[in-house]
Structure 1
Amino acid sequence: MNTRAAIEQLLRAGYGNKAIARRVRVRHQRVAAIRADLGLPNVVRPAKTTCSDDAFWQRTQPVAGGHLNWTGVPCLRTTDGMLTAYRIAFRIRWQRDPEGPVKPGCDMDRCVHPDHVEDQPMRQLYTAIFGEVAA
């Protein structure tokens, strides 16, 4: 695949200019020019996320059942210090900081899908409603 085709594919997948530039090893101005040629809008990230969404998604791998495996190191350095993938996923989904430990609420150990992670109050509410679940 040539460089322009790779850039176009990543642009259509929703990646930001700088993330594409790093991945394809070109200047971000070239990516911006191709974005403009295609008439695609710039990617706007939510203001509350202190970790680049690109940094999170680049370190995940989809697996069967809609789950995500984390492929990077256990933590990412953010403007708030070092955060686990679970805490970053929680922030992406809920737009707030989690309370207590964050764990996957699905049946897959180590899943970091933002829709699958729960903080301590969520687990306590589940337990209050349904009782303890046998492991």
Structure 2
Amino acid sequence: MIVRSDVVALIRDGLSDRAIARELGVSRRTAGTIRRTVGAPSVREVYALTPDQMWDRYAQPTYTGGHMDWTGPTNHSGVPIVKSCHVSYSARGMAFRRRYGRDPVGYVRATCDRKGCVAEEHVADAPMRAELNAQYNAIFGGAR
């Protein structure tokens, strides 16, 4: 079977076989066959997991730099998300809560240069980033 990359991308984004069929004009059977071919779990199976189970399954450590790649669902912009009971959470926000034990203020972003990194040690909320920028400016003088 030919595996269509557009179907695989939508599977990775967390869409159901029915939603993929509606969006791309393929049959649900085709979407389901491609899902099984690439080894992706069914949407029901994925979203029945708790947020911690999703984290354990999809946050994969890399071999260098302490980074973690997100191999699970993303939103329409490609931001890593955790879905549970039809509610979406930011995977980086979850990493922040796991690391600091509190809810983040503003957006949580990776402090490293690796695209999509969700490592708990590499995330910062808005006040933390502002403090880091102030420290950088005090040391090196100039906007970062």
TM-score interval, normalised by the smaller of the two chains: 0.5 to 0.7
Name the residue aligned to 1:54. Answer: 53
Distance 1:88-1:67 versus aligned 2 partners, 3 A rule: same
Task: Measure the CA separation in 2 of the matches of 1:92 and 1:79.
Answer: 20
SS in 1 for 2:121: coil
| Alignment deviations for residues 21-43 of structure 1 (CA, whole Å, 9 cap, x no partner) | xxxxxxxxxxxxxxxxxxxxxxx
Distance 1:56-1:128 versus aligned 2 partners, 3 A rule: same
Task: Measure the CA separation in 2 of the matches of 1:107 and 1:57.
Answer: 23
Aligned-pair CA distance for 1:105? 0.5
Name the residue aligned to 1:128. Answer: 134
Aligned-pair CA distance for 1:77? 2.5
* Mapping for residues 82-101 of structure 1, pairs under 5 Å: 82-101=88-107
Task: Measure the CA separation in 1 of the matches of 2:71 and 2:108.
Answer: 18
Name the residue aligned to 1:38. Answer: none
Percent identity, aligned pairs only? 36
Task: Measure the CA separation in 2 of the matches of 1:69 and 1:53.
Answer: 16
Does the alignment pair 1:116 with 2:115?
A: no
Task: Measure the CA separation in 2 of the matches of 1:108 and 1:65.
Answer: 10
Structure 2, unpaired ranges of 5+ = 1-49, 75-80, 138-142
* Mapping for residues 26-105 of structure 1, pairs under 5 Å: 52-63=51-62, 64-74=64-74, 75-78=81-84, 81-105=87-111
Distance 1:108-1:126 versus aligned 2 partners, 3 A rule: same
